[in-house]
Chain A
Amino acid sequence: MKILVGVKRVVDYAVKIRVKPDRSGVVTEGVQHSMNPFDEIALEEAVKLKEKKIATEVIAFSLGGPKSSEVLRTALAKGADKAIHVQVSDDEAAKLESFHVAKALQKIVEHEKFDAVFLGKQAIDDDSSQTAPMLAGLLDWPQALYASKVEDGGSGHMKVTREIDGGLDTIKVKVPFVLSADLRLNEPRYATLPNIMKAKKKPLKAIPIKDLGIDITPQTETIEVTEPPVRQAGGFVEDVSALVAKLKEKGFVKA
C-alpha cells in the first residue's frame, strides 16, 4: 500500500494569535510555525503501517509557500520516504481553500497511483475539516474520517475505528481510501538528529502549482477578521447574601 500524507505548515499551537491591524487576517510573520498536529498524527500512522509492513511507501505532501519545505523535511525525518512540495507564493498560500488542496491532492494521486491518502482531521489554523471529505468525493473513494484506530481488515480492506458521540464506530473501508486522523490515534514520534541528517538526503520534489493545472482563484472573500470579545473582569462579593442580591439585580435569579 502506497500512502500519501498531507502535512500543512501552520502557526504553532502555543503561539498567541494576533489579528493584523487592518483586520485582513492574523499575523503570521515572525511567529513560530510547525507541522499541523493532526497531520503529524496522520503521518505517524502511515509510518507505523510501513513498519508493520502493511504500507510499502510513505510520501509526504504539502501545498504552500516556500517554507512548507521545512515541514516536509520534518516529515522525512519522521519516517516519510519522499516528499512533494506543490509550490505557491506566500500571498497565494494565505488565500488557499480546502477545495484547492483537495484538487491538488487529487492530481498527485491520479498521477502517481496511491492506495491511500492520510490527512489530519483538521488544520489548527482555519479549522475547516473539509479537505479529506472533498478529496474522497473528487476521487470517488471511500472515506474513514476521525480515525482513532487503524487495522488491517483483510482482503483489500482496512478496519478503522472512529470516535463518535457516545461511543465508537468501527467501519471497514475498501482500499483505496481517504483517512483523516483524530487526536487519539497515536502519539507522534520525535525527529531524531540522525534521522534529520538522513532526511537531508531524501528526495523532495517541488512542483509549481501551475504545472498541475489547477485554478486557485479564491471562491470566498474574507471581509474582516476580528479578535473575540474581551472577557469582562469579574468582581468579588463579601458574602452569600451579597451574591444573591447581585444575582437578583442582574436578573439571573427571580427576585
Chain B
Amino acid sequence: MLNILPRIRIPLRCYSAVLTARNENFAKVKQSDIMAFENFLGKDGVQKDDISNHTTDWTGQFKGHGSLVLYPKSTDEVSAILAYCSKNKLAVVPQGGNTGLVGGSIPVHDEIILSMNKISQQFAFDDTMGILKCDAGFILEELDNKLAKHGYMMPFDLGAKGSCQIGGNIATCAGGIRLIRYGSLHAHLLGVTVVLPDEQGSVLHLGSDIRKDNTSLHTPHLFLGSEGQLGVITSVTMTAVPRPKSVQSAMLGVQSFEKCCEVLKLAKSRLCEVLSSFEFLDDAIMECLKTNLGLHPVLNSPTPFSILVETSGSNEDHDMEKMSAFLDELLSKKLIVDGVLAGSSADAAKMWKLRESAPLAVTRDGYVYKHDVSLPLNSYYELTNVMKERCGDLAKRVVTYGHLGDGNTHLNITSSKQNENLEKLYVSILIPILLLIFRMYPFLYEWVVAHGGSISAEHGIGQLKLPYSNLGKESEERLLTKKLKNIFDPNGILNPYKMI
C-alpha cells in the first residue's frame, strides 16, 4: 500500500513532470562522462548511488530521475563542470539545501545534480560596514551564528534556516518572517560570483563588495530569484544587519479580519522602526496545530484570528514602552479581545513554535495543497472564504497563515489520506482528489490574478507553478525572460523544464 501511493501521487501533483517530455536534444549521461567528472573532481566529488535525497524534494511531492550528483569544491570546479556539460549537451540542475517548495531544485528527468554542499570555505565579514562575502554553500543558520559573534545577523529568517543555503536563498529570492522590517533580499544583495552554462564555463564577478555602486546594469539582481535558470551562484556579497538586543513578542486575539488590518495599520505607525514581524494565523490552522501536533494556543479564549507581532530593537526599555502603549491602545480601541505579551524568551518561543510549526501541522492531514500567493489586503482573507465554499466537503481543512504585513498568504487545503485496499484505491482516493484538484485549479490562481495578486509571493515558479506562469504576466515579459535565458544559457542546459 505504502509503495503504491507515491506512484499515484506523481501524476497528480507534478503536472509539469507529466506534461513536459524529456528534451531529446540533451545527451544521456555515459560512463565516459562519469570518468571525466571523476577526473576533475576526484572520486569523492561524484556520487552515483543513494541519491534519493537529491532527487526528491523535502515535501515528497516531487521526484526526479537523475542518476548522478556532483560535488564541486570551488568556483573553478563548477566552471569545469558547466563547460563540459555545455559542450556535451548534458542538462544540469543546481541544488543548494533542497528546501524549496515548488520542485525547482530537483531533476525532472535525468539532469545531473550539481550540489553546492561543499562550496563553503570562503567567509569574510566587515563588521564596520556590515558587509558579508561568502561561498554559496553556507547554511543560513551557520552564517547567522557566525555573524552573531560580531553582533550582526542575517537580514532574513525562514523555517528552513537549518538546511537552506545562502546561494539557494539568493537564487530563489527567499522571503520569510523579517521582510516587513528589513525589506526583501533586493535591499541587501551587493554582488555575486556566477558561473555561466556556456562552453567556457565563464566565471563572472557581478556587482561589487561595496555598499554603493551605481555604475552598470544591476546585474547581480538578475540572479536574485532566477531559480537557477541563468547561471550557478558560487559566492554572495550582501549586507547583514545589527543583531537586535531586545526582542519582544506578543500574540493577539482578533475577532474580524478587518480588525486585523486595523491592528496592522496601528502596528506600523506605533511600533514603527522596531516592528520586525507581523504574522497571521486563522482559527482553522490553530485547530490543526492542536489536533495534529498537540500544540495548544497561547490565548485562553479562541478567536477567529491570531496575530503574532514582534519588535526588534537595541533598547529594551524603549521597545517595551512602545509595545505597552501599542497594546494599551489596541485594548482601549477594542481592536483585540485577548492577548499575551511574552515575559521571557520561553514564552516567545512557544508563540513562534505555533507559527513555525504550521507548515508541518498541515502535512499530517494527508495530502496538502500549499499556496503562496500575495494579495491586496481587501482580498487577502476573501480568498480563504471563496476556497472554503468552493471545495466544500472535498477538502478536510482550508487553513490560512502567513505574513500579513507583506500581504502574503499561505492558504493550505488538505484532504485525508485513506488506507483503503488496492481495489478501492482509484474509487475512494483518486476520484475525490481529482475532483478537489479540478475545483482548485486553475480557479485559485485566476482568482488571485483577477484580484490584483501574485500567484507566487515568495516560493517561486519551479515545476509546480509552471503551467500558470503566464497568468498575470504580459506575453512580452515572458518573451523577454526567454531571450535573457538564451543569452546566459545558449544550449538551455541549466535547470530545464522549469520557470521560464
For A33, give the chain B residue with the smallest CB separation.
Answer: B316
Q: Is the CB of A13 within 8 A of B344?
A: yes
Q: Which of A35, A40, A78, A194 contacts B331 (CB 8 A)?
A: A194
Please count how many residues in chain B sit with their CB below 8 Å of the partner chain's CB atoms: 28
Q: Mark B31-44, 1 if CB is under 8 A from A, else 0.
A: 00000000000000
Binds A, one of B79-87, B167-175, B334-342: B334-342
Determine if A197 and B328 form an interchain contact, defined as CB atoms under 8 angstroms apart. yes
* Contacts A190-B347, A191-B343, A193-B338 given; does A32 touch B331 at CB 8 Å: no
B245 with A30: CB separation less than 8 A: yes
Check A35/B345 contact, CB under 8 A, given A193-B336, A194-B331.
no
| Residues of B close to A74: CB separation below 8 A | 343
Q: Does A96 contact B (CB under 8 A)?
A: no
CA distance A196 to B338 in the complex (A): 11
- In the bound complex, what is the Cα–Cα distance between A38 and B341 (angstroms)? 19
Q: Could you tell me if B341 and A193 are in contact, using CB atoms closer than 8 angstroms? A: yes
Q: Does A193 contact B331, Cβ atoms closer than 8 Å?
A: yes
> Is there contact, CB below 8 Å, between A37 and B344?
yes
Query: Min CB distance, A192 to chain B, in Å?
Result: 5
Q: Chain B residues near A255 (CB, 8 Å)?
A: none
Q: Within 8 Å of chain A (Cβ to Cβ): is B106?
A: no
- B331 near A190 with CB under 8 A, answer no
Residues on B with beta carbons closer than 8 Å to the beta carbon of A233: none
List residues of chain A with CB within 8 A of the CB of B314: 30
Interface residue? A12 (CB, 8 A): yes
B237-251: contact bitstring with A at CB < 8 Å (1 yes, 0 no)? 000000001110010
Please name the residue on chain A nearest to B324 by beta carbon: A196
Q: In the complex the two chains form, what is the Cα distance from A13 to B347 in whole Å?
A: 11
CB within 8 Å for A13 and B328 given contacts A31-B245, A190-B298, A191-B340: no
> How many A residues, CB 8 Å from partner?
22
Task: Using A190-B298, A197-B328 as known contacts, say yes or no to A35 and B344 having CB atoms under 8 A apart.
Answer: yes
Check B339–A32 contact: CB distance below 8 A: no
A21 → B minimal CB distance (Å): 15
Contact B247 A32 (CB under 8 A): yes
> Contact: B341 with A34, CB < 8 Å?
no
B344 in contact with A196 (CB, 8 Å) = no
Cα A192 to Cα B298 with chains together (Å): 9
Report the minimum CB–CB distance from A60 to chain B (whole Å): 13
Given A32-B247, A32-B316, check contact A194 B344 (CB 8 Å). Answer: no
CB <8 Å contact, B343 and A34? yes
For residue A228, give the distance in angstroms from its CB to the closest CB of chain B: 16
Please report the C-alpha to C-alpha distance between residue A33 and residue B250 in the assembled complex, in whole angstroms: 16
| Residues 143-191 (chain B) with a chain A CB within 8 angstroms | 148
Chain B positions within 8 Å of A, measured between CB atoms, are 148, 245-247, 250, 252, 298-300, 314-316, 327-328, 330-331, 336, 338-347, 349
Q: Can you name 26 A-B pairs with beta carbons within 8 Å? A: A12-B344, A12-B345, A15-B345, A30-B314, A30-B316, A31-B245, A32-B245, A32-B246, A32-B345, A35-B343, A37-B344, A37-B346, A74-B343, A190-B342, A190-B347, A191-B340, A192-B338, A192-B339, A193-B252, A193-B327, A193-B336, A193-B339, A193-B340, A194-B339, A197-B328, A197-B331
